[in-house]
C-alpha cells in the first residue's frame, strides 16, 4: 500500500470545501511527508476510490449527503478493513468517541486548526496501530520491524503474551510516569486493561475465541501525584498460539498543547489549542473583544500561522464561508417548507463546521442546538425562530469578516 513514489496516501471523505482546504493546507506543511491527499465528497465516491488498493488512511466526516451517523464508517470498514479510519467531526459529544471506536474507527478528533505536527502524528499512529492490530487479530506474530515502529510512537503501547508483559515503549513510561523497571511486572491497572487478572497467569478460555476489542478512558494517578485523563484501546486474541493482547494509551489532550486539568467529563479528542504566540488579528473591521465578540482571535491567530506568507488562503477561506453559509441557510428554509427536519439538522451540522473554522462561535452554538436537540423536530414556529437566529448571527459574522452580508 501507499504511493509508489513514497509518502502517505490519504483519502479525505468530506463534502465541505472549507474543511477540505484546511486539511490540504495543513498536510502540505506537516513533517513526515509527502502526503498525497485525495478527496471524496460522498461515501459512494470513497468506496469507488477504495477499489484501488493503495490508500493508507481515511479521514472521514460523519455527516455526508449520502450517509448519516455511522452508516458511512461501517461501509468503508466493510469495504477496506485493512485501511484505518479516523473520524473528524465538529461535535463535542463525549459519547461519540465510544461510538466511533465501536463502529470500527481507530481515532476520533474534532475538526479545527491542528497544532503543527499533530495531524502527521495522528496519521502515522493510526497506520502503525491498525497494522499491528490486524496482524494480531489474524494470528500473526509481531516481529522486530513492527515493534520498532511501535517503539517510535508518541502513544503508549504494551504487549502481553500468555499473561506476561513482554514489550512496552518509551511513550508508555512517559504517560504513566512509571520507569521501565516498574512497568516490567505489569501494573494491576495495565493488566486489567489488557484483560489479564492481576497476580495470575493468562486466563484460559476456548482456543480460536473471537478477537476482543475494548476501549474507554480512565483517570490515571501517577507516582508524582498528578492525574491524567487517558484514552485506551485494547485488542486481544486467543488462538492455538496462546493469548496475546496489545494496549494503546494516549493522553486525551495532545502533547504540546495548553491542556486544562483533566476531568472525567472532558470531551474525547478535545478541541486542540496551540501554544500562545505573537498576536495576529482577524480581518479588518472584525468585532473580537468584549461581550459582543463575533470572531475568536485565537482561531485567527492559528489560521494566520497556518497560512504563512500565502496571500490567498485566508481570503479563500472567508469567501468559501460566505458562499457556502448563505447556501446552507437557503437550504434550511427550503427544508422547513418541505417539512424535512433531518435535512435541517444535517444542514445545521455543515454550517456549524464552517462557523467553527473561522471562529464564529455564537453561530456555531446556535447551529449545534439545532443539530443536537429536538429543535429541528419542533413546532414550525420554533424551527423558524431558530433559523432566523442562524440568519442573524451569520450576517454578523459575515460583516465582521470585512464585507457585506452575502446576497445583500
- If asked whether residues 109 and 152 sit together in one domain, one would say no
The pLDDT of residue 390 is above 70: yes
What are 318-333's pLDDT values in tens digits? Answer: 888 888 899 999 999 9
- If asked whether residues 148 and 247 sit together in one domain, one would say yes
Give the domain CATH number at 384: 1.20.120.160
Give the domain CATH number at 56: 3.40.50.2300
pLDDT of residue 92: 64
How many distinct structural domains can be found in the chain? 3
- If asked whether residues 149 and 246 sit together in one domain, one would say yes
Distance in angstroms (rounded) separating the CA atoms of residues 346 and 335: 10
Give the domain CATH number at 231: 3.30.450.20
Cα 24–26–27 angle (5° rounding)? 70
Asked if residue 406 is part of any domain, the answer here is no
**Which residues make Cβ contacts (< 8 Å) with residue 129, sequence separation at least 6?**
84, 106, 153, 155, 233, 248
pLDDT of residue 310: 67
Residue of higher predicted confidence among 200 and 328 = 328
pLDDT of residue 282: 47
CB atoms within 10 A of CB 64: 23
The domain boundary, picked from 217, 251, 285, lies at 251
- If asked whether residues 18 and 84 sit together in one domain, one would say yes
CA 179: distance to chain centroid? Answer: 30
- If asked whether residues 87 and 21 sit together in one domain, one would say yes
What backbone torsions phi and psi does residue 192 show, to the nearest 5 degrees? -65, -40
Q: In what order do the strands lie in the sheet with 107-110?
A: 35-40, 8-13, 57-61, 85-89, 107-110
- pLDDT band with cut points at 50, 70 and 90 for residue 107: confident
- pLDDT band with cut points at 50, 70 and 90 for residue 269: very low
- pLDDT band with cut points at 50, 70 and 90 for residue 387: very high
Decide if 1 contacts 56 (C-beta within 8 A).
Answer: yes
- pLDDT band with cut points at 50, 70 and 90 for residue 1: very low
- pLDDT band with cut points at 50, 70 and 90 for residue 255: very low
Residue of higher predicted confidence among 25 and 376 = 25
Least confident of 33-42, 51-60, 139-148, 201-210: 201-210
Which whole number is the average pLDDT over 164-192? Answer: 92
- If asked whether residues 68 and 162 sit together in one domain, one would say no
- If asked whether residues 105 and 161 sit together in one domain, one would say no
Asked if residue 215 is part of any domain, the answer here is yes
The mean of the pLDDT values for the chain is 80
Lookup: cell for 28: 502540505
Distance in angstroms (rounded) separating the CA atoms of residues 269 and 207: 36
- If asked whether residues 38 and 87 sit together in one domain, one would say yes
Which whole number is the average pLDDT over 271-295? Answer: 43
Percent with pLDDT over 70 in the chain: 83
Asked if residue 131 is part of any domain, the answer here is no
Q: Which domain holds residue 17?
A: 8-113
pLDDT of residue 273: 30
- If asked whether residues 47 and 105 sit together in one domain, one would say yes
pLDDT of residue 253: 59
Distance in angstroms (rounded) separating the CA atoms of residues 303 and 157: 33
The domain boundary, picked from 71, 94, 113, lies at 113
What are 210-252's pLDDT values in tens digits? Answer: 788 888 888 999 999 999 999 899 999 887 778 899 999 999 8
Amino acid at each position: 500500500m501507499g504511493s509508489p513514489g513514497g509518502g502517505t496516501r490519504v483519502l479525505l471523505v468530506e463534502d465541505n470545501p472549507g474543511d477540505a482546504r484546511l486539511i490540504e493546507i495543513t498536510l502540505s506543511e506537516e513533517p513526515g511527508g509527502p502526503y498525497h491527499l485525495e478527496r471524496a465528497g460522498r461515501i459512494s465516491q470513497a468506496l469507488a476510490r477504495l477499489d484501488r488498493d493503495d490508500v493508507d488512511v481515511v479521514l472521514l466526516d460523519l455527516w455526508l449527503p449520502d450517509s448519516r451517523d455511522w452508516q458511512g464508517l461501517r461501509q468503508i470498514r466493510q469495504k477496506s478493513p485493512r485501511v484505518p479510519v479516523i473520524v473528524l467531526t465538529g461535535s463535542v459529544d463525549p459519547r461519540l468517541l465510544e461510538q466511533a471506536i465501536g463502529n470500527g474507527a481507530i481515532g476520533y478528533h474534532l475538526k479545527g486548526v491542528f497544532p503543527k505536527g499533530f495531524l502527521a502524528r495522528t496519521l502515522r499512529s493510526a497506520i502503525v496501530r491498525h497494522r499491528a492490530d490486524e496482524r494480531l487479530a489474524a494470528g500473526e506474530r509481531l516481529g522486530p520491524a513492527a515493534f520498532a515502529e511501535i517503539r517510535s510512537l508518541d502513544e503508549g503501547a504494551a504487549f502481553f503474551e500468555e499473561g506476561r508483559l513482554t514489550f512496552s515503549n518509551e511513550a508508555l513510561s512517559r504517560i504513566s510516569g512509571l520507569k521501565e523497571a516498574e512497568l516490567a511486572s505489569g501494573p494491576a491497572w495495565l493488566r486489567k486493561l489488557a484483560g489479564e487478572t492481576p497476580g495470575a497467569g493468562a486466563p484460559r478460555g476456548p482456543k480460536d475465541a473471537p478477537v476482543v476489542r475494548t476501549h474507554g478512558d480512565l483517570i490515571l494517578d501517577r507516582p508524582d501525584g498528578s492525574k491524567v485523563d487517558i484514552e485506551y484501546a485494547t485488542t486481544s486474541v486467543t488462538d492455538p498460539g496462546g493469548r496475546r493482547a496489545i494496549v494503546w494509551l494516549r493522553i486525551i489532550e495532545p502533547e504540546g498543547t495548553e491542556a486544562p486539568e483533566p476531568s472525567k467529563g472532558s470531551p474525547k479528542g478535545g478541541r486542540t489549542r496551540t501554544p500562545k504566540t505573537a498576536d495576529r488579528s482577524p480581518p479588518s473591521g472584525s468585532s473580537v473583544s468584549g461581550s459582543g465578540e463575533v470572531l475568536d482571535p485565537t482561531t485567527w491567530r492559528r489560521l494566520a500561522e497556518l497560512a504563512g506568507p500565502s496571500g490567498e488562503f485566508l481570503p479563500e477561506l472567508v469567501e468559501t464561508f460566505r458562499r457556502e453559509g448563505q447556501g446552507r441557510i437557503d437550504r434550511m428554509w427550503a427544508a422547513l417548507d418541505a417539512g424535512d427536519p433531518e435535512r435541517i439538522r444535517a444542514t445545521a451540522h455543515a454550517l456549524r463546521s464552517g462557523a467553527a473554522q473561522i471562529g464564529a462561535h455564537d453561530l456555531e452554538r446556535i447551529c449545534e442546538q439545532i443539530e443536537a436537540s429536538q429543535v429541528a423536530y419542533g413546532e414550525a414556529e420554533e424551527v423558524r425562530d431558530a433559523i432566523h437566529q442562524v440568519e442573524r448571527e451569520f450576517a454578523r459574522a459575515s460583516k465582521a469578516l470585512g464585507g457585506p452580508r452575502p446576497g445583500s
